[in-house]
Structure 1
Amino acid sequence: MSEQAEVGTDVAATRETVLRPHRHLFTRGIVAVLALTTPVFAVLYWLTIPSGAWVFVLVAHLVVIAATVVGVASFLNTTIGYGPDGVRERGFFGRTVRVGHGEAGAVILVQVYERSTLDVLPQLFVASKEGRLLIRMRGQFWSADDMERVAEELDVPVTRPEEPMTHGQLRRAWPRLLYWFERIPLGR
């Protein structure tokens, strides 16, 4: 799912294509929050109203609502954009990474087995010339078409292993591209 957004104020305005994570994740997240919190808070209100302690439950409920609103805003602001200036990622926690043309040293597009299944999902890694991870797109959040668009935009040869990889194989092949907790072998 992508949409066009105007960027710049020049007469010859440039266009940036903006990619967004799968929308069904948003719906699932909201349903999960409601399914988990509604019964809990209903019971807590029912138990605390007679004693007058319901105010504490209300405060806790408002904190949960505020955290949910922050999570929703973070999800809606998560984007990857590409255009004439390169690729820009705005992550879930607000961190923005810009990769200009010529800055990427490697692009790796690999199919990775989901844990304990034969299902595979794509993952795209954009690394600097020094081998440091710049951008990562995981198939749980981004479509394969969006990953292809980003890979094409960076104008770097794309490494595409022929066979899907397990997490252990991925860890052995490119450990610097994984998050710190993924580098720890857990018998996988």
Structure 2
Amino acid sequence: MSAAAMELRSGDAGGSSIEAAAVGGEGLRVFTLRPRRSLGRSVGLPLLALALPVLAAEIWLMDSREAWPVMGATTAVVLGAIFVAWIGYRRANASISRYGIVERGFFGGVSTVAARDVAGVLRVQLYRTNSLDTTQELFVVERTGRGAFRMRGRFWDEPTMDQVAEVLGVEETIGSEPMTLAELRESNPRLLYWFERRSLSR
């Protein structure tokens, strides 16, 4: 039993790789996809920028002798939260093969979707909140109509999304027109996260 060579790809997708594992003498392609590398900077820097005014306010409002221990504790908490978020971001990935999907989420949870349960892949352009700009969203849809796996354009790039339907060996449907979250909620609520299924305006 032998395994084929591994080909590595790098880029803003975060270093997606294609691995060939030996199964019954035949190579099995496993695509390991990771979020955009730029996501760490775009999320981490604003969090750090929000923490600095809090630290400055503590120094300003407190007596100098009281401020330093509180500021030290606040700094430790903020740096700890940033470190935990960074580790979660670095470990998040999705491995896709013709047998299904194994997803390791941002918070460490692992979920699997068997290929036999997948009905197809849906890609739509969703309008961003209060904007005419759109972002691409990919949904792996189960035979029951439930969204089993989701790739959001903020976290994944289009070349990475292009591989999903091909690797799974299912049909891909592409929405002809951009739509709002409310329209998607009306037509396919089971594709959305639980907190997106309810409109705040109602």
Q: Fold conserved (TM > 0.5)? A: yes
- Deviation track 1:140-173 (CA, whole Å, cap 9, x = no partner) reads 1111121121122222222222111111211111
Residue in structure 1 matched with residue 32 of structure 2 by the alignment: 18
2:167 corresponds to which of 132, 153, 161 = 153
Residue in structure 1 matched with residue 77 of structure 2 by the alignment: 63
Give the paired residue count.
188
What is the deviation of 1:101? 2.4
Contact 1:125–1:137 (CA under 8 A) maintained in structure 2: yes
Residue 4 of structure 1 pairs with residue 17 of structure 2? yes
Q: Using the alignment, how far apart are the partners of 1:163 and 1:76 within structure 2? A: 34
* Regions of 4+ moved over 4 Å: 5-15, 45-49
| Corresponding letter in the other structure for 2:125 | Q
Q: Counterparts in 2 of 1:54-93, with a 5 A limit?
A: 54-93=68-107
2:181 corresponds to which of 138, 147, 167 = 167
> For structure 2, which runs of at least 5 residues remain unmatched after alignment?
1-12
% same residue? 37
Q: Using the alignment, how far apart are the partners of 2:175 and 2:147 within structure 1? A: 18
- Deviation track 1:72-102 (CA, whole Å, cap 9, x = no partner) reads 1111111122235332211111122222322
TM-score, length basis structure 2: 0.80
Are residues 46 and 5 of structure 1, via their aligned partners in 2, closer, same or farther at CA, if it must alter by over 3 Å? farther
C-alpha RMSD of the superposition = 2.6
Contact 2:58–2:67 (CA under 8 A) maintained in structure 1: no
Structure having greater relative contact order (Cα 8 Å, sep ≥ 6):
1
What is the deviation of 1:46? 6.1
Q: Counterparts in 2 of 1:109-128, with a 5 A limit?
A: 109-128=123-142
Q: Using the alignment, how far apart are the partners of 2:122 and 2:138 within structure 1? A: 6
Q: Using the alignment, how far apart are the partners of 1:42 and 1:12 within structure 2? A: 61
> For structure 1, which runs of at least 5 residues remain unmatched after alignment?
none
